[in-house]
Amino acid sequence: MTTVHKAAISSVADDPRWARIVGRDKTADGHLWYSVSTTGVYCRPSCPSRTANPRNVQLHDSIESARATGFRPCQRCNPEGPSLEYENANLVAKACRLIEESEGEPSLEELADRVGRSPSYFHRVFKAVTGLTPKNYAAAHRAEKVRQGLASGNTVTEAIYDAGFNSSGRFYEKSTGMLGMTPSQYRAGGANEEIRFAVGQTSLGAILVASSRKGVVSILLGDDPDKLVHDLQDRFPKARLVGANRDYDALVARVVGFVEKPGVGLDLPLDVRGTAFQQRVWQALREIPVGETISYAEIARRIGSPHAMRAVAGACAANKLAVAIPCHRVIRNDGALSGYAWGVERKRALIDREAPGPESSDHA
């Protein structure tokens, strides 16, 4: 009897399917089930319950096989129905539609009541799925409606009220942060906004630094200086681009110096333009110390959205402020380098020269 029992333990613990259960692999849901003799339940692989001892577990390739044990379905993971993750995704999708179709900004309590959840649970689930709070999602949606209204030729006043603002005063309080410029400038495609820029050279190739009146708005790296200028023109198609003077060259020199020797630090006024979620990610990136790297999953956890790893990666890819917002310090969970807007080789070089030790400064 003892020999048979040990073999049973080994067959479950060594089965590759068991690793998916230990890892709570959501992709295995609907393809694999397991039953636990000590609790008398059967579960889906992603069940959040404490991991069972493999000596008490039986694996099943079909829901019928799990039912045949005579055990009951787990109430936590509901193996007979849709997963909790699926239900939460539908719940959030419904809430998003309610926000988008509402003339005003519905309160947290109103939204939670409409989807049949408590405000605290709904708030937590919404943020985990979207990476934003319901309030920030509503603000981002209204900002997008304003952008669409201004781009379609509506007057500023029409765009304001069509987006659900009940007074122009409340809109103008937030307009510059929302659009990155005044509403009139945005409607004109950035016309009359002055962007100063200069191109320099680093050991990693060409660098372009550009600033608005508020602060540095772009730091671009590449092989071709002309292409960097074209990229800047594409980003600000109607702005007035002005070649910088000698004073501005000093600022470019500071950026170049930081690229070459990260230990000198870089403290510049920035004009950061992005969505609420992107700005949360970029702020988290700026808090990563020189010489350290971090995973996309950890960034997602730090901003309070642990399931938003893809959205975090998208925010890193959208960053237009190389080195000032150090997205090069974000790596994959397995430690491998992932994509980088300015080339993986530049990412590797930046990480290497930021690494602690005398060898990190020897890159000439």
Residues serving a catalytic function are 43, 327
DSSP secondary structure string, 10-49?
A: HHHHTSHHHHHHHTT-GGGTTT-EEEETTTTEEE-TT--S
In sequence order, what are the beta bridge partners of 194?
240
Query: Contact 300/309 with Cβ under 8 angstroms?
Result: yes
Residue type, 331: I
Maximal C-alpha separation, the chain: 87
Q: Characterize 162-191 residue by residue with b for buried, 16 or more Cβ atoms within 10 angstroms of its Cβ, and e for exposed.
A: bbbbeeeeebeeebeebbbbebebbbeebe
3-state helix, strand, coil in the chain (%, to 5): 50, 15, 35
Among 157, 70, 67, residue whose Cα is nearest residue 149: 157
Which value, to the nearest 10 degrees, does the dihedral of the CA atoms of residues 114, 120, 123, 126 take? -80
Which has the closest alpha carbon to 119: 128, 127, 111? 111
Q: Rounded to whole angstroms, how far apart are CA atoms 190 and 200? A: 25
Q: Helix 84-101 to helix 108-115 angle, to the nearest 10 degrees?
A: 130
Spatial distance between the Cα atoms of 126 and 122, rounded to a whole number of angstroms: 6
3-class state of residue 72 by DSSP: strand
